Amino acid sequence: MTKLYLIISLFTILHTSNLVAQDGFFWGYSITFEFENIELNNKDTLVSVDFFVNQKSISTMCQGWEMENAKIGQYNLSYFCSTIGYKPMIIKCPDIYVKLEFKQSLNKDRVNYITRFIPFIFEPTKGPSQKIVIPKLDIRYLLKNSGSVVIVDAEGNYKVVDGESMENKPVMYNLVKFVEK
């Protein structure tokens, strides 16, 4: 009986030494863009709005970006991640590039199609999730100032700055388009 008890105890100890527990941690981003002045003027028409993220800033433990067009001029973007083994204290949403494409009627026979990429740079925040609403983005202003970069803080407050005057200019690397739900 003692031998059997010893064998069972030894087997249990050897078997449980191979079990390892890890902590899991989930975090994510939820961003709402609210555009205004979508009707540009009687000569210009907004054709499409697309959202991209730099591939270099995407974690391998994250699910793909999703986009939902809630209503005209409002877009909801979401991205969620999970990690095993550590808990990030500060998270930062990757830079997002908004592609605005519009057509410009020069006269009744000639039309130009113009595309602009506008980078949105997000400041880091503490906590497991970042939910940001960026209200009243004026498309006319963003299109008029072609070198604009939008810097967004954790509360959704933003400022438009000249990209050429920035010390660390945003670089479009390998852009990945958001998938629409």
Is there a domain that residue 16 lies in?
Answer: no
Q: Which of the 8 DSSP states describes residue 110?
A: -
- Cα(101)–Cα(118) distance, rounded to whole angstroms? 11
Given a contact cutoff of 8 angstroms between Cβ atoms, the answer to whether 32 and 93 are in contact is no
Q: Which amino acid appears at position 79 of this protein?
A: Y
Is there a domain that residue 9 lies in?
Answer: no
Using CA atoms of 44, 98, 148, 141 in order, give the dihedral in degrees to the nearest 10. 40
Is there a domain that residue 5 lies in?
Answer: no
pLDDT tens string, the chain, 181 residues long: the values are: 677 666 776 666 656 555 555 566 677 788 888 887 666 666 777 778 888 887 665 555 566 666 777 667 788 888 777 766 666 667 777 888 988 888 887 777 888 888 888 899 888 877 667 788 888 888 777 877 778 888 888 888 888 888 777 777 777 778 888 777 6
Note down the domain range covering 47. Answer: 22-180
Is there a domain that residue 103 lies in?
Answer: yes
Domain count, the chain: 1
Is there a domain that residue 6 lies in?
Answer: no
Is there a domain that residue 8 lies in?
Answer: no
Report the predicted TM-score, pTM, of the whole model to 2 decimal places: 0.75
Is there a domain that residue 140 lies in?
Answer: yes
Residue 172 phi/psi, 5-degree rounding, is -80, 120
Given a contact cutoff of 8 angstroms between Cβ atoms, the answer to whether 54 and 172 are in contact is yes
Is there a domain that residue 69 lies in?
Answer: yes
Identify the CA nearest to 133 among candidates 19, 9, 34, 3: 34
